[in-house]
Amino acid sequence: MRNGKRRAAGPAVKKQPKRAPRTRKQKLWRAGRWLLALGLVGALLAGAAFTVLYRTVDIPDPNKDFETQTTFVYFDDGKTELGRFATQNRVSIDLDQVPQALKDAVVAAENESFWTDSGIDPVGIVRAAFNNARGGSRQGASTITQQYVKVLYLSQEQSYQRKIKEAILSLKVQRQQSKSRILEGYLNTIYFGRGAYGVEAAAQAYFQRPAKNLDLRQSAVLASVLNNPGRFDPANGKGAREDLLGRYQYTLNQMADLDMITEEQAEKAKRRLPKFPKEEAQSTYGDQKGHMLTMVRKELERLGFDGEEIQGGGLRVTTTFDPEAMAAAKKAVVEERPEGFQDKELHVGVASVEPGTGAVRGFYGGQDYLQSQINWAVAGGQAGSTLKPFALAAAIKQGFALKDTFDGNSPYVLPDGTEVTNQGDASYGSAIDMIYATQKSANSAFVDMTMAMDDGPEKIVEMMNDMGIPPAEAGRGGAGFPSTSPGLEPVATAALGSATVSPINMASGYATIANEGVYAEPFIIEKVVDRTGTTRYSHEEEGPEPRRVLDADIAADVSYALQQNVTGGSGTAALALGRPAAGKTGTATNGRDEVSSAWFAGYTPQMSTAVMYVRGKGNEQLLGWLPDYFGGAYPARTWTNAMQSLMEGLPVEEFPEPAYVDGDAPTDGHAPYVPPPSPTKKPQPSQQPQPSTEVETEEPTPTQEPTPTQEPSPSQQPSPSCDILGCDETSSPQPSPSPSAPAPSGSATPGSGPSRAPEQSGRE
């Protein structure tokens, strides 16, 4: 005890000195050790998870797109191929059929470490993950093996789950298949654009040769294109060629850096792109084939086939199209349209429908499908006086007769004061019969007849619908191509043709007259057989039965009136056919009082054909632009040319004699007749003038033939040119080969009419 203090019992306790505080370096080291420990634990857990996933994730079956079969479309003989629908256009080949230059170019451009890597690129995956996490544009880090796995087994979904699964499957595939097998599979599955999957289809699509015959430059192009087919397809214009050139030169530089080719070879090849011939799609969807395939696809959908089955279900579709009838329509247009006027601005629609069956045998839709997807045989135009025969049929059905007379003077004044004029304001007499009225296409007489009928406008439109002219609005799945006739309304001037009607539907309506009053719904699909050989659809068994819509005697009378239009009226150009024919000319005016269309529709007992000429968007001025805008000129001559080909080798058949049906015509129930004012500038014809043998003598003939400035001379053909962007034999861009491509903006839409309904049509 010291200083009087006692120590507590037990051993002495030493006092601990205070610890010095940790330095910043020590703190960082301590935190680093913890992070390292956590990282190791995380890595172990990730490794364990990856191991579990590797063991549990099995290689799935290939995507069903790789099990699809091409759907083939045939002409009416069921043997001659018209075209095809395919999910993937592919022809697989062995790797030894692929030139070494192409194999090297693909590896150099897409995955230079392909022959040595494990199937994945960890560094690239981390880089892409960080970029995506920062909100940057989605990046991939796919090796050739990963791309192959993604295409064959997975989807294009941009997600981390898909990337992890892709990496696992890539490692598995890498272990199960050799590098050569993986490269072969990749080259046979990857998409190159233009509907081509795999190098063989791509070689045909871009260079029209088998893959084994590709040279260095062509190989480098395909290796470059597959990186982004939409951006690098040289057919998509100068910008695409410039982008392709940059990628192409990168590919060649990569090949030289990897000693696949020499620097000298690379420099020589980099000077320019190779020559690109016309695309293969020209023979698949070019000209009228694209229009045919579009119609077939839409009709298959209407019949209940879904898009997946149409595109890759291995169907065998037999159509009604006759290659000779298709050729006849095109030949007639090319030979008869005025020189210097081409499809870009002058649109000619032609359609031939078989009376009795309704089969659409041939048509001409206008401009090459690859340049414009508007099919004018379906889009149609204002019908003009070609609708008058249906009005005549309705009147005879109501009790009137061919020899009943109506006011043929011009103008005819409707009760509301509206004036209806004849072509050239010609007057034919105050009491002309309907034979002469049809022959001269007298608007006034047809409107007077309409007013004399009970519910005339309604009954006329009803008759049009019954005989094959679709209504203004139709329900889903309605008949016709298209199933509507915009502007077809029950008005006093309905017979004058302000409604928009397609040439196919017009030919169908006239076919009803040719078939003695029996209507057969127009159709284009004869039979559909699936991949197993089972018939899925047969028009003969499932199609609508033809039905009588008009007494045979009435049809004979209407037909007789139409024969007079050919023998002594505005349709005398059809006399050159050299056999009995019946038909009607027509022109129409739009809401601006401009001539918007010119028609000739007619038939023999074996075939009905309609021809329509329109301009621009379908309702633009023909007067002063087309050398002769009347239906009896270019349309009638085009009709005759087409029918001469169609009738070749067929027996000459006569029409039934007219029956001169005469019933109890209404005597009241219609608006009272208002006599027109007496004309002051032209003499009145006799009470009943005799039919003239002149062709449209009342119609002026242009004194000077205008030359359209919108179209180049037919002799001006684009010539191949070569520069750093390569050589090209065609100057037109190549659209997607899908036949469902939309119509170009600023153009008429198939099946749509003019934006403004005209007040009066039926100029002839």
What digits encode the pLDDT tens for the residues 322-368?
999 999 999 999 999 999 898 889 999 999 999 999 999 999 999 99
pLDDT band, residue 101 (cuts 50/70/90): very high
Q: Which is more confidently placed, 690 or 25?
A: 25
| Cα–Cα dist 320/504, whole Å | 13
Q: What is the DSSP letter of 693?
A: S
pLDDT for 682: 38
Q: What is the DSSP letter of 417?
A: S
Bridge partners (DSSP) listed for residue 318: 74, 527
Bridge partners (DSSP) listed for residue 726: 723
| Cα–Cα dist 494/461, whole Å | 7
Kind plus residue range of the DSSP H or E element containing 172: helix 160-176
pLDDT for 166: 57
* pLDDT at residue 468 tops 90: yes
For the stretch 580-592, pLDDT in tens is 999 999 999 888 8
The residue-averaged pLDDT of 233-254 equals 93
Instruction: Dig out the tokens for 347 from the structure.
Output: 């649109």
Are the CB atoms for 562 and 582 separated by under 8 Å? yes
* pLDDT at residue 598 tops 80: yes
| Cα–Cα dist 544/520, whole Å | 8
**For a pLDDT cut of 70, what percent of the chain falls above it?**
71
Q: Which is more confidently placed, 518 or 119?
A: 518
pLDDT for 72: 87
For the stretch 171-209, pLDDT in tens is 666 677 788 988 998 898 888 988 788 898 899 889 999
The residue-averaged pLDDT of 689-699 equals 32
pLDDT band, residue 491 (cuts 50/70/90): very high
Q: Which is more confidently placed, 35 or 41?
A: 35
Lowest-pLDDT range of 72-86, 217-231, 250-264, 681-695: 681-695
Average pLDDT, the chain: 81
Q: Quick check: helix, strand or coil at residue 82?
A: strand
pLDDT for 167: 66
Q: Which is more confidently placed, 564 or 84?
A: 564
pLDDT for 517: 98
* pLDDT at residue 693 tops 50: no
For the stretch 12-23, pLDDT in tens is 655 556 666 767
Chain center to CA of 15:
97
Are the CB atoms for 520 and 565 separated by under 8 Å? no
The residue-averaged pLDDT of 77-83 equals 94
Name every residue whose Cβ is closer than 8 Å to that of residue 226 and which is 6 or more positions away in sequence.
106, 110, 190, 191, 192, 202
Q: From 370, 378, 369, select the one nearest 351 (Cα to Cα).
A: 378
**For a pLDDT cut of 90, what percent of the chain falls above it?**
58
pLDDT band, residue 61 (cuts 50/70/90): very low
User: φ, ψ for residue 110 (rounded to 5)?
Assistant: -105, -30
Within 10 A of 244 (CB to CB), how many other CB atoms are there? 23
The residue-averaged pLDDT of 701-708 equals 35
For the stretch 377-391, pLDDT in tens is 999 999 999 999 999
pLDDT band, residue 505 (cuts 50/70/90): very high
pLDDT for 714: 35
Pairing assessment for the beta strands 608-615 and 595-603 based on DSSP bridges: antiparallel
Cis amide linkage into residue 482, ω under 30° from 0: yes
Q: Which is more confidently placed, 573 or 713?
A: 573
pLDDT for 131: 58
Q: What is the 3-state secondary structure (H, E, C) of 12-66?
A: CCCCCCCCCCCCHHHHHHHHHHHHHHHHHHHHHHHHHHHHHHHHHCCCCCCCHHH
Are the CB atoms for 594 and 623 separated by under 8 Å? yes
Burial of 432 (0-12, 13-18, 19+ CB in 10 A): buried
Instruction: Dig out the tokens for 390 from the structure.
Output: 């249906």
Q: What is the DSSP letter of 278?
A: -
The residue-averaged pLDDT of 369-382 equals 95
Rg (CA), the chain: 37
* pLDDT at residue 700 tops 50: no
Q: How many residues does the chain have?
A: 764
Sign of CA dihedral 724, 726, 732, 737: negative
Lowest-pLDDT range of 260-274, 447-461, 467-481: 467-481
Q: What is the 3-state secondary structure (H, E, C) of 117-171?
A: CCCCCHHHHHHHHHHHHCCCCCCCCCCHHHHHHHHHHCCCCCCHHHHHHHHHHHH
* pLDDT at residue 219 tops 90: yes
Are the CB atoms for 266 and 252 separated by under 8 Å? yes
* pLDDT at residue 145 tops 70: yes
pLDDT for 759: 41
Instruction: Dig out the tokens for 677 from the structure.
Output: 């004012």
Lowest-pLDDT range of 243-257, 593-607, 735-749: 735-749
Are the CB atoms for 612 and 597 separated by under 8 Å? yes
pLDDT for 734: 39
Q: Quick check: helix, strand or coil at residue 439?
A: helix
pLDDT for 756: 32
| Cα–Cα dist 729/336, whole Å | 28
| Cα–Cα dist 525/528, whole Å | 8
